[in-house]
Amino acid sequence: MAGKEKYQQDEQIDVLEAVENTHSLIVWNDEVNTFEWVIETLVEICGHSEEQAEQCAMIIHTQGKYAVKHGSYDELKPMCDAITERGIGATIEMLAT
């Protein structure tokens, strides 16, 4: 019986995570903001490590955009607003299913 309860609990967690992680926070490349400013922003706003923020900044630079964070719309919206207030282009996109 414990195995069945564990399976049901795991299944509920999987469904909850699938519902909560339905959006991506996209940061866009531009010719205005420096690597340092983007890195500092990702560390302060998104909670990235310095190394993670540097990697994101490089991908943003080379690919034109990058999904720096995944989560619910309500979780990502304040981050998106804070990033754009710093003059960096950011949007929230719904993940394809």
- What is the CATH code for 21-94? 3.30.1390.10
Residue range 26-81, pLDDT digits in tens: 999 999 999 999 999 999 999 999 999 999 999 999 999 999 999 999 999 999 99
Residue range 8-32, pLDDT digits in tens: 556 655 555 555 679 999 999 999 9
Residue range 31-44, pLDDT digits in tens: 999 999 999 999 99
Angle separating helix axes 73-85 and 35-46, nearest 10 degrees: 140
Residue closest to 25 by CA, chosen among 59, 75, 86, 61: 75
Q: Domain segments of the chain: what residues?
A: 21-94
